[in-house]
Amino acid sequence: MSSNRVYLFDTTLRDGEQSPGVSLNVEEKLEIAQQLARLGVDIIEAGFPIASPGDFAAVQTIARKVKGPVIAGLCRAVRGDIDRTWEAVREAENPRIHTFLATSDIHLRYKLQKSRPEVLEQAVEAVKYARKYCSDVEFSAEDASRSDIDFLAQVVEKVIDAGAKVVNLPDTVGYAVPEEFGQFIRTLFEKVPNIDKAIISVHCHDDLGLAVANSLAGILAGARQVECAVNGIGERAGNAALEEIIMALYTRQAFFNKQINVNYGELFRTSRLVSTLTGMQVQPNKAIVGKNAFAHESGIHQDGVLKERTTYEIMSPELIGASRSTLVLGKHSGRHAFRKHMQELGYDLSDEELDRAFKAFKEIADKKKEVTNEDLEALVNDKVRAIPERFKLVYLHISSGTSIVPTATVKLAIDNMEFEAAATGDGPVDAACHAVDKITDIYGKMHDYKLNAVSSGKDALGEVISHIEIDGKIYGGRGLSTDIIEASVKSYINAINKYYYEKHQQTGQA
């Protein structure tokens, strides 16, 4: 193996899903995993199988269906966790057991209440036990950056002797700074005599905004695996952003002299998909994938870019798949042209998916003068990749104003039958949601609401992303329409459909 090769370990589906308010179902996790495989990441950490039956099912489904990357499951350094993780990943083309145990004195004293010798023994035992199942075992020393360096070196040496193929040294709480973290990794290379027998990995959090910088410092110091998440999502302030790591290594290839194997053209689509399914909007000024990443306001900058792009752009939007084509299709476009254009956008739709997408496209085209690539991507995510719709909006009428009580009449289709209800509320959206509650007998509470314009212009599609609490669990809802009230109600119904689907999947009903 080349010492210049860096392996990309994506933890969007494990650490990323631990972001507050994010809850993905099995189908959504599988869709993200399949997109990560198209992007070309080396390892997908699919979840924490012992955490819940849903997490186990997601990891097992991904292990069975996603080919190419290594599929890893996370587990504590205890036998029951390791057993459950192996059960989840065993059918993967390339399975990995990823076990972890804290090594810092603060964690030993307050969380684990164990001595250093006890932790060392537990770590070694966990790796040996995992190796009975799987040759690819990764060990993570949680809170490594705040651990005593001599004790940590001892742990690293012993877990490598026990059979760990990869050893991860995380900055779990985002406390390190780049120069310090780089020196920390170099010191371990000096202190651990058998360190060349394992791949050293880094996993940095962004509490001080330094996750990417620390990860790159770790790579320069000798780490050959970097753990990150799409859009930088994750616990607290998040993880190192996958797209920023990738493009830093690409753009500054002469400096880093490291090689990664990815399909750069899938970066933007991966970011959009994760943002859509998690409901976590990408900030406009986000590096690489933010909507302003390739925008130029200053006249001087605009003039420079028009004369020579590289005056103010160090990478091109086309490279990451973020080209901004204008109109692509209109209401007179045919099915063949539609299929061809969707293929050009990277969507290879089945006949059934094409039928649904083309029907939705025609509905949008009747309302909009121009249908853009952004509209089409939103349409596919909304209509084609959606879960089965138990409840479908048929009709919506709103009566609202500054001097009247907002009233909504809603008609839903349920199993080819239509039901109608009316309700009042604090506003038109609230009234419509109350009417939906009456019909479905499922009552949700809205915790978060975001309205985005998918494209520009007065007739832009409105995308509403909401977080709805039902029976104590948060479900992400998404709705799309040129009418923002209709998009809001569709988002609410989408969350209810997810709740219903999950509930009946668990009970084995259709």
218 and 350 part of one domain: no
Boundaries of domain holding 396: 391-506
Task: Count CB neighbours of 343 within 10 A.
Answer: 11
267 and 332 part of one domain: no
Q: In the prediction, which pLDDT does 371 show?
A: 75
Contact 135, 96 (CB under 8 A): no
Contact 454, 460 (CB under 8 A): yes
454 and 359 part of one domain: no
What does the DSSP 8-state code read for residue 104?
A: S
The parts of the chain modelled with pLDDT lower than 50 are 325-328, 510
Q: How far is CA 137 from CA 179, 289, 294, 344, 373, in A?
A: 29, 33, 40, 39, 42
CATH of the domain at 425: 3.30.160.270
300 located within any domain: no
The stretches of 345-483 forming alpha helices (DSSP H) are 351-367, 373-379, 428-440
Contact 73, 64 (CB under 8 A): no
Contact 264, 319 (CB under 8 A): yes
412 and 345 part of one domain: no
| pTM listed for this prediction | 0.82
Q: Tokens at residue 222, please?
A: 């000798």
301 located within any domain: no
Q: How far, in Å, CA of 239 to CA of 233, rounded?
A: 6
86 located within any domain: yes
pLDDT digits (tens, 9 = 90+) for 213-245: 999 999 999 999 999 999 999 999 999 999 999
334 located within any domain: yes
CATH of the domain at 258: 3.20.20.70
375 located within any domain: yes
446 and 486 part of one domain: yes
400 and 380 part of one domain: no
289 located within any domain: no
Q: How far, in Å, CA of 200 to CA of 194, rounded?
A: 11
90 and 218 part of one domain: yes
Contact 400, 427 (CB under 8 A): yes
144 and 258 part of one domain: yes
Q: Which of 1, 11, 2, 68 is nearest to 226 (CA)?
A: 11
252 located within any domain: yes
51 and 181 part of one domain: yes
How many domains are contained in the chain? Answer: 3
462 and 338 part of one domain: no
The strand pairing partners of 408, in sequence order, are 398, 423
- Where is the domain boundary, 384, 416, 431? 384
149 and 230 part of one domain: yes
259 and 232 part of one domain: yes
Q: In the prediction, which pLDDT does 216 show?
A: 98
Rg (CA), the chain: 25
Q: How far, in Å, CA of 213 to CA of 481, rounded?
A: 40
Q: In the prediction, which pLDDT does 327 show?
A: 40
- Where is the domain boundary, 362, 384, 406? 384
- CA 202, 203, 208, 213 torsion-angle sign: positive
